[in-house]
Chains A and B, each alone.
Chain A
Amino acid sequence: MPSITNHVRRLRFDANEMSQKALADAVGVTRQTIIAIEKNKYSPSLEVAFKIAQVFGCSIEEVFFYQ
């Protein structure tokens, strides 16, 4: 069954090891939500997905995948 996965963890690491808290503050969610997204336990809204992509300076397809 296809599911939404993401590269948030790797992108955070590439972005000078950005902390989960820093990313959470930048996109306006709690740190627990970033943890849930990284563990594929939560698919964020389009708004938050775009904000995450914006923080890493890449397109949304480079962060989230449907496979």
Chain B
Amino acid sequence: MVVRNDKLRWAGGSLVVVNLAMFLVWGWATLFLLGLVFGSVLFAAGWWADEIDLTNELPLLVSLLGMVIMFGSYFFYVFANLEDLTGGFQRFLGVLILLVIVQVTLHSLIAAQRADGHTDERDRAIQRAASRWGYGVMAVGIWLVIGQLVLGMIFEQAWINSYFSIYLLANVLFLVFVVSELVNISARLFYYRRGFNVA
């Protein structure tokens, strides 16, 4: 028997319709795209409610997609417009505010869903294993940035002394942190979905 979750389907469907209307009226915007994707994910989760773990997998999936869209839009703008520091900073603040809103909403939803309000040994083991993946990616990224900087200095590359090199470097390091967090979330999603500590 297929289990449906009507609350999720209604919430997801409404989010899709509202954001689609705004998208058609005002045109493309990251916020509307975010709403459309969140709405579609919630609707799909409500439709196949017995296929997805609503307490662990759904919040992680929403978090992952949200981060990809928000930071994807930010980095797309920043790396294409390196000379526009003001625009980049405004977008950074926008992404930060959106991220806080999404995370607060998600954690409230998780707390409401999980009545006992605690994590157990499986959650903690999955968090530890996923953190190792995230940390590995972060370490590799930071070493690559350090290597690039040192090589740039040795071979006296022009960009290293250009006025936007600090801004570029800050954003590349920021990208490394974001990618490592994305890997962390993806690994947790993978372990919840495919099983963990299975002999």
List the interface of chain A (C-beta within 8 A of B).
2-4, 25, 28-30, 32-33, 35-36, 39-45, 48, 66
Q: How many B residues touch A, CB cutoff 8 Å? A: 17
Is the beta-carbon distance between A33 and B199 smaller than 8 angstroms? Answer: no
Cβ-closest chain B residue relative to A1: B199
Is the beta-carbon distance between B196 and A42 smaller than 8 angstroms? Answer: yes
Decide yes or no: A66 and B199 within 8 Å by CB, A28-B120, A29-B121, A29-B122 being known contacts.
yes
B119 interfacial by beta-carbon distance below 8 Å: yes
B119 surroundings in chain A (CB, below 8 A) = 30
B86 interfacial by beta-carbon distance below 8 Å: no
Is the beta-carbon distance between B121 and A45 smaller than 8 angstroms? Answer: yes
Count of A-B residue pairs with CB < 8 Å: 50
Is the beta-carbon distance between B121 and A44 smaller than 8 angstroms? Answer: yes
Is the beta-carbon distance between A32 and B197 smaller than 8 angstroms? Answer: no
A48 surroundings in chain B (CB, below 8 A) = 121
Cβ-closest chain A residue relative to B126: A42
The 6 closest A-B pairs by CB, nearest first: A41-B195, A29-B120, A4-B199, A33-B122, A43-B197, A30-B120
